[in-house]
């Protein structure tokens, strides 16, 4: 047998791994209620018209060649304006269009993390932040977020976990999977710790406008003026087109200490040629367009979240920290018996009730254990039906 790189065959992606079990059921003709995937398009949402028109326009104009590696200049300018609207000054020279935030994470990591280096991540976190660090031989170090306080990060734990090998502190605001929204004070606190240790902050703002407070999540680069900030954002969530694979990376570097890191990022960008030119054009039109559609989207998400909140408040086996952003809920499974762990809980729920969620330990073995994630994207009747099935499932196993 030709052996694969050990690092490659150890890769896991919980969100997609559970789908295999669901597909097996579907092959047998079962109908599965899917609460597992953070893709608005799977639940009937579509990108704004301007965005789609932008792609059509790009095709008509014959934008079929490679784009510049950094991004199409007009698109970079639109992102610069968007960041300014967010309150931060990230000049277009410091912006890079990527094939989604995922590619931005890969470029950043490869430039920043060597073998044995450490990166501080929220616990729980979006899994690729862990996976890509491991692929590079670096160590993902998870800092505690306190569920009882809306999953807010523990200052003490961040401080305790900084070592001479720490290369950056990352935050995801709002967070996947918890839906936690960090306020300005929390972001500044992370910035203060980073400044004390001369560390850059990585800020994933892909859900920034998906909040239930009436205002977007704060821009980290706008708030932190004495540390470098790498911001990620893109088309996938706010603009409802994750399949276009368009995102961006922006660097705010007030003291010019990130020149080499940026060079490392840009070298990778050149080596991969460019992201899709037509999708970039659609992204530009989306950025320029009216985001009125978000009002309707947020109204629906909030109503759907509230259905979950109501059901979970009635089931004493669960604790739910009410999410203030993104489109997830991350309840804690209080009664553990008869399941071995949260993965077995999720797989049993799938097998017995045909409701597909994602096990929390897939987002982190510690903070995610004995939790599961469900999305707030499905129509209300699907959520209602799923909750009825979950209640029935819990009753069935009550005395085991
Ligand atoms: C926090 C977070 N960052 C990044 C991504 C992926 O973004 P993209 O589709 O732009 O690669 C996701 C997708 O769920 C996410 O939850």
Q: For the domain that residue 302 is a member of, what is the CATH number?
A: 3.90.1150.10
Pocket of ligand 1 (CB under 6 A): 38, 100-102, 126, 172, 176, 204, 206, 234, 236, 242, 247
Query: Which pLDDT score, from 0 to 100, does residue 286 have?
Result: 98
Helix or strand run (H / E) with residue 223: helix 220-223
130 and 105 assigned to the same domain: yes
Ligand 1 site-directed mutation target among 103, 177, 206, most atoms within 8 Å of CB = 206
Asked if residue 187 and residue 64 are part of one domain, the reply reads yes
**Looking at the structure, do residues 57 and 155 belong to the same domain, yes or no?**
yes
Walking along the chain (400 residues) 10 residues at a time, the average pLDDT comes out as 89 79 94 96 97 98 97 98 96 98 98 98 96 96 96 97 98 98 97 98 98 97 97 98 98 97 98 97 97 96 98 95 97 92 96 96 93 98 98 92
Q: Answer yes or no: is 1 within a domain.
A: no
Residues 269, 387 share a domain? no
* Domain shared by 28 and 150, yes or no: no
Residue 101 CA to ligand 1 center (angstroms) comes to: 6
Nearest CA to ligand 1 atom 14: 38
Nearest-CA residue for ligand 1 atom 13 is 38
- Please tell me the predicted confidence (pLDDT) of residue 15: 73
- Region class of 162: left (phi > 0), else alpha (psi between -120 and 50), else beta: beta
Token pair for 137: 């031989």
Q: Is 351 contained in some domain?
A: yes
| Residue-level pLDDT at 157 | 97
Q: Do 185 and 255 share a domain, yes or no?
A: yes
- Give me the pLDDT at residue 141, please: 98
218 secondary structure, DSSP code: P
Burial string for 10-20 (b: 16+ CB within 10 Å, else e) reads eeeebbeebbe
Asked which of 288, 323, 343 is the last residue of a domain, the reply is: 288
Instruction: List, as one string, the DSSP characters of 359-395.
Output: EGGGT-TTTTTTBEEEES-S-HHHHHHHHHHHHHHHH
Kindly state whether residues 304 and 281 are assigned to the same domain: no
Domain span including residue 245:
49-288
In this structure, are 22 and 134 located in the same domain? no
Select from 203, 237, 286 the residue to mutate for testing ligand 1; criterion: most ligand atoms less than 8 Å from CB. Answer: 237
Which residues, in sequence order, are CB contacts of 381 under 8 Å at separation 6+?
none
Cα separation of 371 and 356, whole Å?
Answer: 14
> Last residue of a domain, which of 251, 266, 288?
288
Q: Whose CA is nearest to atom 16 of ligand 1?
A: 176
């Amino acid at each position: 047998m030709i052996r694969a790189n050990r690092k490659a065959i150890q890769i896991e992606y919980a969100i997609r791994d559970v789908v295999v079990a669901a597909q097996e059921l579907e092959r047998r003709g079962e109908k599965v209620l899917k609460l597992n995937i953070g893709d608005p398009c799977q639940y009937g949402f579509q990108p704004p018209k301007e965005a789609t028109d932008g792609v059509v326009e790009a095709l008509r104009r014959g934008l079929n060649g490679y784009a510049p590696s950094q991004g199409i200049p007009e698109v970079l300018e639109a992102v610069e304006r968007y960041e300014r609207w967010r309150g931060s000054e990230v000049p277009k020279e410091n912006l890079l269009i990527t094939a989604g935030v995922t590619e931005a994470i890969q470029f950043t990591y490869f430039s920043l993390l060597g073998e044995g280096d450490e990166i501080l991540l929220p616990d729980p976190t979006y899994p690729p932040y862990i996976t890509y660090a491991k692929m590079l031989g670096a160590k993902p170090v998870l800092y505690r977020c306190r569920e009882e306080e809306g999953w807010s990060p523990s200052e003490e734990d961040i401080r305790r976990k900084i070592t001479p090998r720490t290369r950056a502190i990352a935050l995801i605001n709002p967070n996947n999977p918890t839906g936690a929204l960090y306020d300005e004070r929390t972001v500044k606190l992370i910035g203060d710790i980073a400044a004390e240790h001369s560390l850059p902050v990585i800020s994933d703002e892909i859900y920034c406008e998906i909040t239930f407070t009436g205002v977007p999540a704060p821009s980290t680069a706008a708030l932190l003026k004495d540390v470098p900030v790498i911001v990620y954002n893109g088309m996938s969530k706010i603009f409802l087109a994750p399949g276009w694979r368009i995102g961006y990376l922006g660097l705010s570097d007030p003291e010019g200490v990130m020149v080499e890191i940026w060079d490392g990022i840009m070298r990778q960008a050149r080596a991969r040629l460019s992201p899709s030119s037509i999708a970039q054009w659609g992204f530009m039109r989306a950025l320029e367009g009216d985001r009125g559609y978000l009002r309707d989207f947020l109204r629906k998400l909030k109503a759907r979240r509230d259905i979950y909140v109501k059901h979970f408040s009635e089931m004493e086996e669960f604790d739910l920290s009410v999410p203030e952003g993104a489109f997830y809920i991350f309840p804690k499974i209080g009664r553990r018996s008869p399941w071995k762990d949260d993965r077995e809980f999720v797989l049993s729920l799938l097998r017995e009730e045909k409701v597909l969620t994602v096990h929390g330990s897939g987002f982190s073995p510690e903070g995610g254990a004995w939790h599961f994630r469900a999305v707030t994207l499905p129509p209300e009747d699907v959520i209602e039906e799923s909750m009825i099935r979950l209640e029935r499932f819990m009753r069935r196993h009550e005395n085991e």
